[in-house]
Amino acid sequence: MNTLNLRQAIIQRVHDKSEEELNEVIESSIGNDERTLPGLGVLFELIWQDSDPSTQKQLVGTLHNHLVHTEPPLQRQ
């Protein structure tokens, strides 16, 4: 019996989607339940792997800029 890991299952779920459908998957996952975070992580991994170094630098810059201007979440004690 073949068993898919989480990464493979997520890729299989979105494999045949159009660009519009992929956009809907991403938009509906952002800010949603934390169960969607692994899926977004897999999609980001695919984007990262297929991005040239200048695009990767831009993505990191965008992330850094967001983090600099956002308060960190409160830590529970």
pLDDT per residue of the chain (77 residues) written in tens, 0 to 9: 567 799 999 999 999 999 999 999 999 999 988 999 999 999 999 999 999 999 999 999 999 999 999 988 877 66
For residue 2, what pLDDT is reported?
65
For residue 56, what pLDDT is reported?
98
For residue 75, what pLDDT is reported?
72
Name the residue among 45, 15, 39 with its Cα closest to residue 26. 39
What pTM value is reported for the model?
0.81
For residue 73, what pLDDT is reported?
83
Name the residue among 16, 43, 15 with its Cα closest to residue 28. 43
